[in-house]
Copies of this chain bind each other. A is one copy, B any other.
Amino acid sequence: MQFQKDDIREKILAAAGETFLTQGFGKASMREIAKKAGISTSNMYNYFKSKEELFYAIADPVFHHLANLRKEVFEYKANKDFNNENFMQQFTEFVPKVMFEMIRKYRKEFLLIMDCSKGTKYEQLKKMMATAMETNFTDNIISKKKKSLLQDSCLMHILAMNLIEGILEITRNYKNDEWAKNNIESLMKYHIRGMVQFFT
């Protein structure tokens, strides 16, 4: 297997990325990917042993990157004497920065894992991320007085979701680094400021 040609591997990955992105994992066909890559369908199986594995070859890196980000965020939290103030700082400085870097590195892959993964093990990732964020928000932003206000509400969940979807939309319409950076910052600022005013 170590004799695989890297250029072909790259061609397959590129073709697959494109195809998964437009058709979704389920509707994408190995044939189409092979045609786009300019090789035979069967040859793809020398590089990736199934459609799913091919998908993971693209999606896993972002996944691990995202997992690491999560850790970093927690560490950031642990290292500071955490309070509302530096929470806001985290979400208006640190998070936008790492998000931007993530997008920069994994634009297509991020969209893939979040929007086109139905039928794979990452199907639920968006929802899980939203839930994690939601917990984070609920624990850190909301004053005890206002917590009752959220009883049974899913607003926090929605806002977390919205943040993610916002990042996704920026990723989808990406123009250049500057543009992306600014939009991410605005988006985070918008939501964090909104939450603070709404819930504290």
Q: Which residues of A contact B (CB under 8 A)?
A: 23-24, 26-27, 118-119, 152-155, 157-159, 161-162, 165-166, 169-170, 173, 175, 179, 182-183, 186-187, 190-191, 193-194, 197-198
Bound state CA distance, A118 and B197, in angstroms? 38
Chain B's closest residue to A118 (CB) is B24
The minimal Cβ–Cβ distance linking A35 to chain B, given in whole angstroms, is 13
Given A26-B26, A26-B27, A194-B193, also A183-B161 (CB < 8 A): no
Known: A162-B165, A165-B165, A190-B159. A170 touches B198 (CB 8 A): no
Q: Is the CB of B193 within 8 A of A170?
A: no
Residue of B nearest to A174 (CB): B154
Residues on B with beta carbons closer than 8 Å to the beta carbon of A198: 190, 193
Q: Is the CB of B186 within 8 A of A153?
A: yes
CB-CB nearest 8 A-B residue pairs: A162-B162, A194-B194, A158-B166, A26-B27, A155-B186, A158-B169, A165-B165, A154-B173
Q: Which residues of B contact A191 (CB under 8 A)?
A: 194
The distance in angstroms between the C-alpha atoms of A151 and B44, with both chains bound, is 45
Given contacts A154-B169, A158-B170, A191-B194, 4 further A-B contacts (CB under 8 A): A162-B162, A162-B165, A162-B166, A197-B197
Give the docked Cα–Cα distance between A173 and B152 (Å). Answer: 11
